[in-house]
Each structure stands twice: as C-alpha cells, then as structure tokens.
Amino acid sequence: MSDRGQALGELPWRGSPSERPPLPVPPQPMPMRWNGRLRKRWRWVGAFQESITVFAASVEIGPLGLGFWGIWDAERRDLAERSRRSLPWRRAEIEMEGRGVRIRSPQAEAELLLGEGRPVECISPNGEGGYTWTRKLAGVPVTGEVRIGGRAIGVDALGVEDDSAGYHARRTSWLWSAGVGSDGEGRTVGWNLVSGINDPPRSSERAIWVDGEPREPSPVRFEDLERIRFADDTRLEFAPVAERAHREGIPLLVRSEYRAPIGSFHGSLEGTELASGLGVMESHDVLW
C-alpha cells in the first residue's frame, strides 16, 4: 500500500497535531488537486454578544476566492453584509492574520482579536478517495471594535473559529451550528455540531466546550434550521433574528445554495443546560 493509501486508511482521525496522519493540511502547502478533486479552504470567525454579532470568512475553491462579512446591530435591528470575489487588482476587505481579524469596507470597519483555547481537530474520508480536514474552537474570548453607521461599538464577546481545508466530494451538503453562551452554573459554553460533513460516529468535528474543555457528543439530528436533537432526545432550540443567504454559481464549475441565520438558543447540549446562548445555524448544498 502506498504511503497515501496507508494514511487514508487511518481515517477518520481526531486528536492532537503530533499524532496526525501524514497528510498535507494547513499550515502545510496542499496540492491544488487530489484524486481529481479541487482543494477547498476556508476560515470563518464569529463573535457573539447581545448588542452585536460580527462574522467574517475567507473562502477558496481551487483558484477562486471569496470573502464575506456580516454585522448584526441588535439596537437598530439591522444586518449589514457584503460578499466579494477575490481579484488580483482588488483590495481585500477581510484580513485574517494570526489571532487578528480585520474588516475594511465602505459600509463598516472592524478589528477583532481572538483569545486562545483548546480546539478540536479531525480528518475525515470524503468517500471518493480523498479527505477533509477541520479545526474548530468555540467559546473563545473576542475583543475589539466595530465602526458602523457613524457609531463605534466595543466588542467583548465569545467567539467561534472554523478552519477547514480538503478535497470535498463533488456534491457536498451539510447542516451546521456553532455558538456560545453559559450554563446554569455560570460556566462558559461553546458548541460545534454538524450533520453531513466530518461527522462519523466517532472522531468527528462535533464538540461541546464547557469552561474551555471540549468533549465529543454523539451524532446529532437537525430538524431543518429550527432545532438540533441529541441521542439522549434532549434538544437545542433556535430563534433567528437575521439571516445571510445566497444562491449563486459559475456554470459547470460551482453551484451553491446557502442559508445562515443567526440568533439565540435555549435548551440542552446533551446534558449541559443552557442559561443563555447565541450563535449560527447553517445549511449549505454545494456542487464544487
């Protein structure tokens, strides 16, 4: 068996970077193609507090790039957002370097600094002889400032990070939720839950953090984008306040149908009762 085949045979995998199967993942260079599939990479960051929610993402599908951001102003009940394809002559509106995130747009500006935490990392087979990698972190402190509509709004929030890369199946469809909050004992809570991608029964990307310590819950079932049900029949209920959505594509190359409402959550995270919760739900069906 080739080294590549042997490494793929170790999947699914979840653990520390020192024990990772010998497959190229960030920050290592990754080939543009693997077994006929284009490389996809993205980094999504969100910060959630009662007064404001900020999210930003940088996405690559092969040689194509896209950036998008959104800011929910709870006082004005307004979601400002913008998407932009990356072009060589166009200044990027989103910069992500280290633990910093910067948005520079005619509509709004923001500077965020993410704290440290204990991420979970996993690699999953894609069902077509390739693999997908992701590293997730939720419940991390985020500080900074947003400037929008002539106002400066301080950010002292809890946040979520999604770093992903790999050679996803040509048709990929998933439901995802991530959020932050606290439980009845005042402990910090974060979650990353998914169905349809990186979600084997074990060694998945699913994670619940309590005071910064992650654990892997059992597989979950999404009931549309309204609730998430756990194996013990407890559930997490969602109430949206705003939504980012798109339906777009490039003929014969990419087609994407995407919904990502943000809002509040209540209920249980498989035994951890939420006292308060804010976050995102996502539905994405993509041909890439």
Amino acid at 258: Y
Residues whose CB is less than 8 angstroms from the CB of residue 27 and which lie 6 or more positions away in sequence, other chains included? none
Each residue of 8-37: pLDDT tens digit? 999 999 999 999 999 999 999 999 999 999
User: Token digits for 201?
Assistant: 């029964």
Count the neighbouring beta carbons within 10 Å of the beta carbon of residue 173. 14
Count the neighbouring beta carbons within 10 Å of the beta carbon of residue 231. 11
Fold of 38-287: AttH-like fold (2.40.370)
Q: Look at residue 1 and tell me whether its pLDDT is greater than 60.
A: no
Greater pLDDT, 130 or 87: 130
Q: What is the mean pLDDT of the chain?
A: 95
Phi, psi (rounded to 5 degrees) for 13? -135, 145
pLDDT at 252: 66
Give burial (CB, 10 Å; 0-12/13-18/19+) of 26: middle
User: Token digits for 21?
Assistant: 């199967």
Each residue of 216-262: pLDDT tens digit? 999 999 999 999 999 999 999 999 999 999 987 766 677 899 999 99
Asked whether the bond before 201 is cis by omega within 30 degrees of 0, the reply is no
Asked whether the bond before 27 is cis by omega within 30 degrees of 0, the reply is yes
pLDDT at 221: 98
What confidence tier does 268 reach under pLDDT thresholds 50, 70, 90? very high
Instruction: Kindly give the pairing relationship between strand 213-215 and strand 207-210.
Output: antiparallel
Each residue of 45-76: pLDDT tens digit? 999 999 999 999 999 999 989 999 999 999 99
Each residue of 106-116: pLDDT tens digit? 999 999 999 99
Each residue of 200-214: pLDDT tens digit? 999 999 999 999 999
Global pTM? 0.94
